[in-house]
Structure 1
Amino acid sequence: MIKEKIINYAKHIGIEYIGFSSINFKDEFVNRLREKRLNGHLSGFEEQDEYKRTNVKNIMENAKSFISIAVPYRTMEIDYNKPYFSKSSLGLDYHKVLYNKLNKIQIYLKEEFNANSFYFCDIGPLHDREIAYMSGIGFYGKNTNIYTEKYGSFVFLGELVTDIYIEPDIPIESKCGDCEICMKACPTGAIERPYYVNSKKCLSYITQKKDGLTYEEMAKMGNRIYGCDTCQDVCPLNKRALFSNIKDFMPEEWNINIVAEDFLNMSNKRFKETYQKTSGGWRGKKILQRNLIIALANSRTNEGHAKIKSLINDDYFSYYVEYYLKRMGGY
């Protein structure tokens, strides 16, 4: 009855995918995390210590169950022929959307079952994807994304750990078969083998990192300002994925039709009113402006040319302006 009541409440607040699992991670998963750490293939944005990511008792001493949720985010197709933000960074920052839903479940658990819980979404020690897999939300693709039946891999994940026992769901085995389209399509070869991604090579990470970018990395970025959709877009399993109707994830005109001059001249006030409200906003204005300069260079687009040239003496932008000018033929 507990499980059924939680599922019904989740549907009531607009959560279509919800699953449950024990708090025990398999040794195989822990070893995979250790391998990535020892190989230096973690992005640096996540918890480095695999034991902190899997020892749930450090978070809640009396923990008994995970509750995992998935929320679809793809609301439109993107024109990749011009500078763009990935599908996951359009609309309102997904952390806020999922926190709102997870908080409602937390309150419900307390009021209905006197259960204690903590929730996480992307930020925190827990591994969202493995918990979603354990909870039967979906299966692992070879690109390590979790695939749901209706929305493919275009879902955001979050979870709660709680001190009540809930009957676990059954994990779903991969449906990728012999397909390796995502691996072959990855611009940087970040999917080094099935179900293993070198995060340091992933363009989603590269568009976010603060350290100086190499010319090779900049060339691989193409028209990306933030994030990367390639391995998901080419996946046959995503061809039939449904679109999300969640209004919070609907894009605004300013983040699907980027005006270079406005973007590069953007005030801090304007940034706070717009891009800072998206999931890409956490990296700050300068990183996104840097990436736009690179995107314009890669597409050899003259838009914003005078503004970009004026940044040649800026300590932060000068290196990227030099890349831009080389790609533009030096003028």
Structure 2
Amino acid sequence: MNYNQLKEDIISFSRQIGIDKIGFTSADPFTEMKNLLIRQEELGYQSGFEHKNIEERTHPDLIFEEPRSIIAIALAYPSKMKDAPRGEKGARRGIFCKASWGVDYHVLVREKLEQLEAFIHERVREARMKLMVDTGELVDRAVAERAGIGWSGKNCSIITPEFGSYVYLGEMITNLPFEPDEPILDQCGECTKCLDACPTGALVQPGQLNAQSCIAFLTQSKNFIPDEFREKIGNRLYGCDTCQTICPKNKGMDFHHHPQMEPDPEVAKPLLQPLLELSNREFREQFGAVSGSWRGKKPIQRNAILALAHFKEESAVPDLIRVLNHDVRPEIRGTAAWSLGKIGGNEAKAALLHAKAIEKNKDVLHEIHKGLQFFMEEDIG
């Protein structure tokens, strides 16, 4: 078998099926990434969504018998929305990050990998492959970096020369001995714009992220958002694009190669107040196809409540009072109480005092107290 020719054939086929970039690397251990992951764990910087076993995340031979190479792919996604609706007073809107526009990227990238897998199987019957997109054991970024897809930026994203960091990543381990590609040299230079712009200071140093304070991860949590981050969420419903939009390497990068990635404006920038009333079925119907729905409606609704407080949207007060009085989820009731305090007004204050008298959950009572504290500070001021 001429593996150099097979590699060229795979590259050619990848272009035919719409893969924007492809690279090959060895299946050697990811030693540098292992050290970084150990350090992240020691510092408590992990998000909690990662695969738990660091050995399996960095040693392909622990998750695949006799690996010989890894193929990495990248699909470029749009950074600009056509006909984006504008929010206004009385009709405020939230925003999903660009990586959650269009159909769930896990589905799209896996489809491309499966097409590659079938193509390789046709040519090498004994070929074995293991496909991964984001939720696999390996660290996509480490594979992509070593395979020459791009370099690992100070914002912890893979940055490609062709598409910036607006790319979805996926990979497959194989038992075929492909020649590895050369990694791309770091091109961030002295630039620190992403670190300077991070709303919460989650980029603690170049290439190191504290996920516990990263808005992208906070918006996916299901608990109360810590007080110090609530106002910094802004109107983000899922994810955060700040460290990408500020990056000079992303200037002018906007690719519309894949129709399935085009956002539905009413999904990517939905009205906030209707979100508070969505049933599980309605949530699945409206948002089920996008990656930002993977944690269910609760985080999205909590973030919508914070966004209404961010806008100080007075028209939302009756909706928030209904949530405070009737929602069965403490995190949602409590966040509504805090937001009512931020928005202010006599109606909000009366609702908080009423809730204080009847609420049984201590966490919600704590949030009601915070909401009422805003009124006390206003009186003192």
Match of residue 41, structure 2, among 37, 40, 57 = 37
Is 1:95 the equivalent of 2:99? no
Query: How far is 1:79 from its partner?
Result: 7.7
Say whether the 8 Å CA contact 2:76–2:168 is kept in structure 1: yes
Tell me the residue number matched to 1:301. 313
Query: How far is 1:47 from its partner?
Result: 1.3
Are residues 103 and 26 of structure 1, via their aligned partners in 2, closer, same or farther at CA, if it must alter by over 3 Å?
closer
One-letter amino acid of the structure 1 residue matched with residue 342 of structure 2: R
Tell me the residue number matched to 1:323. 338
Query: How far is 1:293 from its partner?
Result: 0.7
Task: Give the ranges of 4+ consecutive aligned residues of structure 1 lying more than 3 Å apart after TM superposition.
Answer: 77-82, 302-305
Match of residue 259, structure 1, among 250, 271, 292 = 271
Say whether the 8 Å CA contact 1:20–1:168 is kept in structure 2: yes
Post-superposition Cα deviations, 1:54-78, rounded to whole Å, max 9, x if no partner, equal 1211221121000000001125257
Query: How far is 1:146 from its partner?
Result: 0.3
Say whether the 8 Å CA contact 1:30–1:54 is kept in structure 2: yes
Indicate the structure with greater helix content. 2
One-letter amino acid of the structure 2 residue matched with residue 15 of structure 1: I
Tell me the residue number matched to 2:353. none
Say whether the 8 Å CA contact 1:138–1:171 is kept in structure 2: yes
1:1-331 equivalences in 2 (<5 Å): 1-77=5-81, 82-114=93-125, 115-313=127-325, 314-316=327-329, 317-330=332-345, 331=348
d(CA) in 2 for partners of 1:84, 1:15:
27
d(CA) in 1 for partners of 2:49, 2:86:
26
- TM-score after normalising by structure 2: 0.83
Query: How far is 1:253 from its partner?
Result: 3.2
d(CA) in 1 for partners of 2:269, 2:56:
41
RMSD over aligned Cα atoms? 1.6
Say whether the 8 Å CA contact 2:79–2:255 is kept in structure 1: yes
Post-superposition Cα deviations, 1:243-287, rounded to whole Å, max 9, x if no partner, equal 233111111132134223322222322222221210011110121
Unaligned residue ranges in structure 1 (runs of 5+): none
Unaligned residue ranges in structure 2 (runs of 5+): 88-92, 349-381
Say whether the 8 Å CA contact 1:37–1:48 is kept in structure 2: no
Paired residues, what number?
331
Are residues 214 and 205 of structure 1, via their aligned partners in 2, closer, same or farther at CA, if it must alter by over 3 Å?
same
One-letter amino acid of the structure 1 residue matched with residue 265 of structure 2: E
d(CA) in 1 for partners of 2:53, 2:74:
25
One-letter amino acid of the structure 2 residue matched with residue 279 of structure 1: S
Say whether the 8 Å CA contact 1:80–1:223 is kept in structure 2: no
- Matched-pair identity in %: 37
The higher radius of gyration belongs to 2
d(CA) in 2 for partners of 1:204, 1:156:
16
d(CA) in 2 for partners of 1:171, 1:253:
37
Are residues 261 and 187 of structure 1, via their aligned partners in 2, closer, same or farther at CA, if it must alter by over 3 Å?
closer
Query: How far is 1:121 from its partner?
Result: 0.3
One-letter amino acid of the structure 2 residue matched with residue 193 of structure 1: Q
d(CA) in 2 for partners of 1:302, 1:83:
16
One-letter amino acid of the structure 2 residue matched with residue 275 of structure 1: F
Are residues 100 and 303 of structure 1, via their aligned partners in 2, closer, same or farther at CA, if it must alter by over 3 Å?
farther
Query: How far is 1:196 from its partner?
Result: 0.8
One-letter amino acid of the structure 2 residue matched with residue 251 of structure 1: P
Say whether the 8 Å CA contact 1:109–1:116 is kept in structure 2: no
Tell me the residue number matched to 2:362. none
d(CA) in 2 for partners of 1:80, 1:7:
42
Say whether the 8 Å CA contact 1:296–1:303 is kept in structure 2: no
